[in-house]
Chains A and B, each alone.
Chain A
Amino acid sequence: MAPVTEKKAAVTVHDPMLPRVARVRKRQRDLADVWTLNLEMEDGELLKFAPGQFNMLTVFGVGEVPISISGDPAEDGGGLVHTIRAVGTASGALTRLGLGAAVGVRGPFGTSWPVEEAKGNDVVILAGGLGLAPLRPMIYSVLANRRHYGRVALLYGARSPEEILFRSELEQWRRRLDIELQVTVDHAETDWYGSVGVVTTLVPRATFDPHNTVAVVCGPEIMMRFGTAALRKAGVPDQSMYLSMERSMKCAVGLCGHCQLGSAFVCRDGPVFRSDQLGSLMTVKEL
């Protein structure tokens, strides 16, 4: 499968498996088990990246995991901002690192969101749970060049009100008149006044012209499956939908074999794929 979206930023390291040392400069707790880390390269490199790309982050002596870049591509160091959920050994260790702690960084890797292709179109951004983090650089880019895009809808679903990520930024975006923001939660207690229901229910409610729309979808695989189905039903063709796949990754450079999805290496040919290019890979079970 051919790489889908925009040009990849050049990989600057020569031994592709060798991490470079960065330091934790800022850490912020977003949710009970989610932290955003701002890193800084010891060699001062700012790590240019394209929205949707990811880095491989190492906690020395523990392990290495792929983590999407969640920073602002227009900001220095935006390529070293990561939002991490502590789910296991390495991700947990990353979230426990103190200020100044060393982190190994390889990257950025992978394909990116269709920031350029989307210009001149309406944009639907469909995010589930932590899937908002890999989409945030795309949101920053679209908002920074707002006049190049048609209507912009950000549809976000979280499990519960407590699980809503980037709350203060969502509030800022809600106040803008040039973006339609809808948030829903799967379950809520009585003090939640917003919508309840899965994120796909937001699709029919959003305003966009399905024939001139670019949709980007990120979240758990099942959510992406239902999300693309809802968009398809609304009339958005698969050629205009993009999604970011998660697979096991041990190298990020097409050598370890772990991330295979059909003939694609998700690390290299993805993680961002155009929906029509994934085709049956999304429907065959356990592929």
Chain B
Amino acid sequence: MNIDRARITQMITLEISGLQALLDALAKRGYRVIGPKLRDQAIAYDDISSVRDLPAGWTDEQEGGHYRVTRRSDDALFGYAVGPHSWKRFLYPPIQQLWRARHKGSAVSVTPVPPSAERFAFFGVRACELHAIEIQDRVFMNGELADPHYKARRENAFVVAVNCGTAGGTCFCVSMNTGPGVKRGFDIALTELVEGGAHRFVVEAGSDKGREVLAALPQHAAKPEEIKAAEAVVAKTASSMGRAMKADDVREVLMRNLDNPRWDHVAERCMTCGNCTMVCPTCFCMTVEDSSDLEGLETSRSRRWDSCFTMDHSYVHGGSVRGSAKARYRQWLTHKLATWVDQFGTSGCVGCGRCITWCPVGIDITEEVAAIRNSESR
């Protein structure tokens, strides 16, 4: 059943076949569709073309330093939280060549690597991840000095968001006011309903692009009880957060505690491996590398993700400014939760919990903040 465009301002319901039609519609419009897939014992973001690519019936167990995929009792397609990947790797690839220079005799011509024309459709973007993208927009699309590579990929992207039906063990989006329901920044948003053998998606368009895609899908107008059930899914998730952090005054708490002994305590555990920065969907640090072919006829510069946990990050001639693990952990945490606010008018943390889960020793951002906060009242 196709319904006309004007009526699709309302919520609709898709069956599994409708979801497949959505994937097909995106592919047909030339999008490269990326979505969750079970890969190497984790739920990763990868190319998908079929509903069968999605991790049906899987969930994840997450704790400090612990991640494991396990079976669910139902066939939910989105019944897990976020995995080690974030959409950052598509909007801001880990390695990006910036320019090439050709050397001929003494002549040199520098040519920029053109921004990618790739059009991504992100399928299954969580509320916290939408916020993370919004945060990176502020970093990379800052007016006259905007990054052309990020800008091109971002402006071409189509976003299919999904309201979370299961909170991860390390999630704290409720504290950061970034989830578990999506509010803005999507073209299409889904809420998955799996109960009593029925498997449906309550769907909402967030943009004209989204409305246009939805218009052609087999669907029915969402029934009031379906909309109610969708709202209940989000409410239930919100009430089962794995973690919490008091966030309203965290900036002030951290900035007046730059010499707190807790930094020494965390430094004894932190291996400065930088995992937390790699999995974090907002961390944006990068470094550049120049290379040259053997004859020096072509040279180039690339940028790649970097981490404030490396010694190199703050290296100036004579040594690193932040030589100790303590200084580097403090830089990371205060940047995320405090100085980020001064720089970009928003926190740098969306409460996705990845840094907790993927820390090999289970260092927990919420616990570190609480410890510093509690040390004040002692």
Using a CB–CB cutoff of 8 Å, the interface residues on chain A facing chain B are 1, 11, 15-21, 58, 60-64, 87-88, 91, 100, 102, 104, 246-248, 250-251, 253-258, 260, 262-263, 265, 280, 284-287
Contact B316 A16 (CB under 8 A): no
* Cα separation A61 to B110 with both chains bound (whole Å): 12
* Cα separation A253 to B108 with both chains bound (whole Å): 24
CB closest residue in chain B, given A269: B343
User: A60-B103, A263-B342 are contacts. A258–B313 as well, Cβ < 8 Å?
Assistant: yes
* Cα separation A19 to B145 with both chains bound (whole Å): 14
Contact B339 A64 (CB under 8 A): no
Using a CB–CB cutoff of 8 Å, the interface residues on chain B facing chain A are 98-99, 101, 103, 106, 108-110, 112, 139-140, 142, 144-145, 147-148, 258-259, 284-288, 290-292, 296, 299, 301, 303, 306, 308, 312-317, 321-324, 326-327, 331, 335, 338-339, 342-343
Contact B331 A260 (CB under 8 A): yes
Q: How many A-B residue pairs have CB under 8 A?
A: 120
- Majority DSSP secondary structure for residues of B touching A: mixed
A248 contact from B103, B106, B140, B313, Cβ within 8 A: B313
What distance in Å separates the Cβ of B24 from its nearest Cβ neighbour in chain A? Answer: 37
Extra 11 A-B pairs, beta carbons < 8 Å, given A19-B110, A104-B101: A18-B98, A88-B317, A100-B106, A247-B314, A254-B142, A255-B139, A255-B140, A260-B335, A260-B339, A263-B339, A286-B327
* Cα separation A157 to B326 with both chains bound (whole Å): 34
**A-chain residues with CB within 8 Å of residue B324 when the two chains form the complex:** 286
**A-chain residues with CB within 8 Å of residue B145 when the two chains form the complex:** 11, 16, 253-255
* Cα separation A62 to B99 with both chains bound (whole Å): 14
**A-chain residues with CB within 8 Å of residue B313 when the two chains form the complex:** 248, 257-258
What distance in Å separates the Cβ of A54 from its nearest Cβ neighbour in chain B? Answer: 14
- What are 10 A-to-B residue pairs whose CB atoms are below 8 Å? A19-B110, A60-B108, A60-B296, A60-B299, A102-B106, A253-B145, A258-B285, A260-B331, A262-B339, A263-B339
* Cα separation A87 to B335 with both chains bound (whole Å): 30
- Majority DSSP secondary structure for residues of A touching B: loop
* Cα separation A17 to B112 with both chains bound (whole Å): 9
**B-chain residues with CB within 8 Å of residue A21 when the two chains form the complex:** 108-110
Contact B147 A250 (CB under 8 A): no
What distance in Å separates the Cβ of A45 from its nearest Cβ neighbour in chain B? Answer: 15
Contact B290 A61 (CB under 8 A): yes
What distance in Å separates the Cβ of B96 from its nearest Cβ neighbour in chain A? Answer: 10
A17 contact from B99, B299, B327, Cβ within 8 A: B99
**A-chain residues with CB within 8 Å of residue B101 when the two chains form the complex:** 60, 104
**What 6 A-B pairs come out closest when comparing CB atoms?**
A61-B292, A286-B327, A257-B285, A263-B342, A263-B339, A61-B299
User: A247-B316, A255-B284, A258-B313 are contacts. A18–B112 as well, Cβ < 8 Å?
Assistant: yes
What distance in Å separates the Cβ of A278 from its nearest Cβ neighbour in chain B? Answer: 14
CB closest residue in chain B, given A66: B316
* Cα separation A255 to B321 with both chains bound (whole Å): 19
Contact A11 B144 (CB under 8 A): yes
User: A258-B287, A263-B339, A263-B343 are contacts. A18–B110 as well, Cβ < 8 Å?
Assistant: yes
What distance in Å separates the Cβ of A86 from its nearest Cβ neighbour in chain B? Answer: 10
* Cα separation A87 to B306 with both chains bound (whole Å): 23
CB closest residue in chain A, given B146: A16
* Cα separation A247 to B312 with both chains bound (whole Å): 12
Among A58, A61, A64, A284, residue most surrounded by chain B Cβ atoms (within 10 Å)? A61
B316 contact from A58, A248, A280, Cβ within 8 A: A248
Contact B317 A87 (CB under 8 A): yes
A250 contact from B109, B110, B140, B287, Cβ within 8 A: B287
**B-chain residues with CB within 8 Å of residue A104 when the two chains form the complex:** 101, 110
**A-chain residues with CB within 8 Å of residue B306 when the two chains form the complex:** 250, 256-258
**B-chain residues with CB within 8 Å of residue A88 when the two chains form the complex:** 317
User: A247-B321, A248-B315 are contacts. A256–B290 as well, Cβ < 8 Å?
Assistant: no
A20 contact from B110, B303, B316, Cβ within 8 A: B110
* Cα separation A248 to B284 with both chains bound (whole Å): 16
